[in-house]
Amino acid sequence: MSQIVLVHGAWHGGWCWNQVAGRLRALGHDVHAPTLTGLCERIHLATPAVCLTTHIDDILNHIRFNELDGIVLVGHSYGGAVITGVASALGSRIRALVYLDAFNIESSGTALFDHSPDWRVQELTEAAEAYNGWQIPCDMLIPFWSSRPAEREMLKKLTTPSPMGCFTEKVTLTGAEKSIADRTYLICEEYRPSPFWPFYERYSKDPVWRTARLPSMHDAMITIPDRVTHEIDLIASR
């Protein structure tokens, strides 16, 4: 049995992992999928002060108070930036890092937007300005997450705006995140245009990383839960 922490991306909540979490538990793993502050069922806690550090602290505290160790830490999309910050703080308590179509903060003192293509930064900034200035709605993104009408309707119902500070805050890293030997990057190859291909292309040439391509749009944990479960179980079981 492995201890697995699943970190959702922007606009989502822990609910998006339900299918994968159930399958992993059936395989005998101890699985956690907390919802980050200010999103979904925790939307009542949303303020302009919520940022990437807030969400890193969410996961650090979840790990601390559930006394987890030897963790397989999985981050989807924005959640990749969160798991990098967690690994920076916890170091050897993290056994493996898994980035599912996700951002990574590669340099201390930088923000998620510093690792994003200009077109994505402009798209999200304009969406926030048109909404309320500090939250980003996601209606324009849902068509890239799934092609199935029922899944799109579910995403419209269950997603919530995401605080802008999560994308703009520059975070300080210790370097401990780079000491974790088991690192995997999973790219969703049906999501285009995508801000994640540069990460996949770099890591596929780096012997430190294991990479794989998934036949899915961006929300693979919803669209192909069996395959995502398989990939995580491979890592957790070795």
Strand partners, 187: 213
User: What is the residue extent of each domain of the chain?
Assistant: 3-237
Task: With a cut of 90, say whether residue 155 has pLDDT above it.
Answer: yes
pLDDT of residue 1: 83
- Return the structure tokens found at 116: 């994003």
Type of residue found at 25: R
pLDDT of residue 209: 98
Q: What is the mean pLDDT of residues 216-237?
A: 98
Task: With a cut of 90, say whether residue 238 has pLDDT above it.
Answer: no
Q: What is the mean pLDDT of residues 24-49?
A: 98
Q: Which CATH class is domain 3-237?
A: alpha beta
Taking only the tens place, the pLDDT of each residue in 171-190 is 999 999 999 999 999 999 99
Active site residues: 77
Place 13 in a pLDDT band, splitting at 50, 70 and 90. very high
Got the DSSP string for 4-51? EEEE--TT--GGGGHHHHHHHHHTT-EEE-PPPTTSGGGGGG--TT--
Taking only the tens place, the pLDDT of each residue in 56-84 is 999 999 999 999 999 999 999 999 999 99
Q: What is the mean pLDDT of residues 24-48?
A: 98
